[in-house]
Amino acid sequence: MILLNQIIQGVLLGGYYALIACGLSFMFGVMRIINLAHGSLAVLSAYALYVLADSYGVSPFLGLVVVVPAMALIGAGLQRTVLERSARGGLLVPVLSTFGLSIVIDNLLFEKFGADTRSLAPYIGDLSYDSWAITDDIAIGKLAALTMATAIVLLGGIQLFLNRTPLGRMIRATAEDPDTVGLVGVSAERVNAIAAGLAIATVAISGAFLAMRATFNPYAGALQLIFAFEATVIGGAGSLWGTLFGGIVLGVAQSLGASVSPQGFFIAGHLAFLAALFFRLFFGDLGLNLRRVLVRRPQ
């Protein structure tokens, strides 16, 4: 029963990882851009919501109405000023430039807010600790469930958007071959700016959940980037449903690791990531294989 509870809590934790990985997976898998400032942008959104809640009394959910469009604009601007120029410089440059950007964001946040840890938990009432009791041993937190639901809606929504809408097709086509989409009258720059805006908008949402479920500080971005990356890689780059699966594998591994020893939480997560890499070397993509087995649809 204890084991079952740990697995359930791990799955729910995985919902958060899937959520934080959503924007990274979208940029990495679809746009083929690696954004090392991903975690820092999530923390930036968390601070924006914190300021709105703390200074103006705006509830975090209402605050998202302001912060999500603002982050979308930042994302589009980032694409225009940094990512696009970097991508032209080859594989190397985006990694270097976005890492530089993350250092700038982290330290500016530190300059503004100091080393104190903050949380949005006090501003969401009993949602932060309320739960549904399933049995005597197992309870499901309402916030965790909301996180999972948000992750599913966001990942599924983006997947549908990419597959079914004209703009989604344009985004995929632009990632595939920006010069050719130019020939058929699509502005690759505009499409990429929209896509980056969308990706960073999801980062804003994940930043809200980061801040509601726990505490954060100006340097919390690095770990969020690593978790997002691990979930993306375990799930198989390029598939958003895979990312949900990757997040859950990561969450369950951490939850089980924590039951072995206090340090086991992080160690098990990183080991799960390395195991997934190792698996990929010999058997191909874990997420992809699993989908093939489960769905059994000719690719």
Provide the binding-site residues for another protein, judged by CB under 8 A. Answer: 28, 34, 36, 82, 85-86, 89, 91-97, 99-104, 107-108, 110-111, 222, 225-226, 229-230, 233, 237, 263, 266-267, 270-271, 273-274, 277-278, 281
State which residue, 39 or 168, has the beta carbon closest to another protein: 39
Q: In whole angstroms, how close is the CB of 16 to another protein at the nearest point?
A: 18
H/E element, 33:
none
Q: In whole angstroms, how close is the CB of 286 to another protein at the nearest point?
A: 14
Q: In whole angstroms, how close is the CB of 51 to another protein at the nearest point?
A: 19
Which residue, 216, 283, 244, 297, is CA-closest to 40? 216
Please report the DSSP string for 195-249 in residue order.
HHHHHHHHHHHHHHHHHHHS-B-TTTHHHHHHHHHHHHHHH-TT-HHHHHHHHHH
State which residue, 115 or 184, has the beta carbon closest to another protein: 115
Q: Could you identify the residue written with the tokens 């690759």?
A: 188
Q: Could you identify the residue written with the tokens 């198989």?
A: 236
Beta strands in 16-156 (DSSP E): 131-133, 139-141
State which residue, 154 or 237, has the beta carbon closest to another protein: 237
Cβ atoms 50, 64 nearer than 8 A: no
Instruction: In whole angstroms, give the CA distance from residue 120 to residue 59.
Output: 9
Q: In whole angstroms, how close is the CB of 209 to another protein at the nearest point?
A: 21
Which residue, 53, 34, 43, 175, is CA-closest to 109? 43
> Which residues have a Cβ under 8 Å from the Cβ of 100 and sit 6 or more positions away?
none
Which residue, 232, 220, 231, is CA-closest to 105? 220
State which residue, 82 or 249, has the beta carbon closest to another protein: 82
State which residue, 107 or 117, has the beta carbon closest to another protein: 107
261-269 long-range contacts, CB within 8 A, separation 24+:
269/227, 269/230
Q: In whole angstroms, how close is the CB of 57 to another protein at the nearest point?
A: 29
Beta strands in the chain (DSSP E): 131-133, 139-141
State which residue, 180 or 263, has the beta carbon closest to another protein: 263
Q: In whole angstroms, how close is the CB of 106 to another protein at the nearest point?
A: 8
Cβ atoms 29, 240 nearer than 8 A: yes
Q: In whole angstroms, how close is the CB of 168 to another protein at the nearest point?
A: 23
State which residue, 150 or 239, has the beta carbon closest to another protein: 239
Q: In whole angstroms, how close is the CB of 264 to another protein at the nearest point?
A: 9
State which residue, 56 or 282, has the beta carbon closest to another protein: 282
